[in-house]
Amino acid sequence: MRTIICAAMLLSSAGTAFASGGIWCNVDDTAVTFDVGAGVTRGMGGPTFNFRGDLEIKARPAGDGLRKTVFEDSNLTQYWLDDKELRLNIYHEHEVANAFNSVELTILTKASDEGVYDGQYTLAVYDNAADTDKDGKPAELTGKVSCGAE
């Protein structure tokens, strides 16, 4: 009887393993380095889980609060994944002395091969201290990105 129960549990957990995959993107260019990724379920509309990422803006001075950012689940504000494209929008606010700074990373890619997505990223960086004319416009960095999905 114990063997039957163990076999049934093993078979049911094997089905769960095939019910999820992952997405990831990374860049290491002259402006930024970033690596982001998440698990993606195959059913229920394909929600993500365990989203994580690291971003470094190379032009920012060492010790600057906007130079390095760690992303978590709550920072992935939107995503789209199908056979044709992968899109991510990632937003993180930094509070410094009662002033808010932010980074918003937008990744737009198209499938170039099965599970491979190539395209562009745009990083919008809002630095409250550098916004001397108070127009609220962020500085933008752009470049090529390569992503994968399974």
* pLDDT tens column, 21-63: 999 999 999 999 999 999 998 766 668 899 999 999 999 988 8
Does 147 score more than 60 pLDDT? yes
141, 93 Cβ separation under 8 angstroms: no
101, 127 Cβ separation under 8 angstroms: yes
Does 12 score more than 70 pLDDT? no
Give the tokens for residue 60: 């920012």
Order of all β-strands in the sheet with 116-126: 68-71, 48-57, 32-41, 20-28, 139-149, 116-126, 99-113, 85-96, 76-81
Distance CA 146, CA 119 (A): 7
Distance CA 27, CA 56 (A): 10
pLDDT band at residue 146 under the 50/70/90 scheme? very high
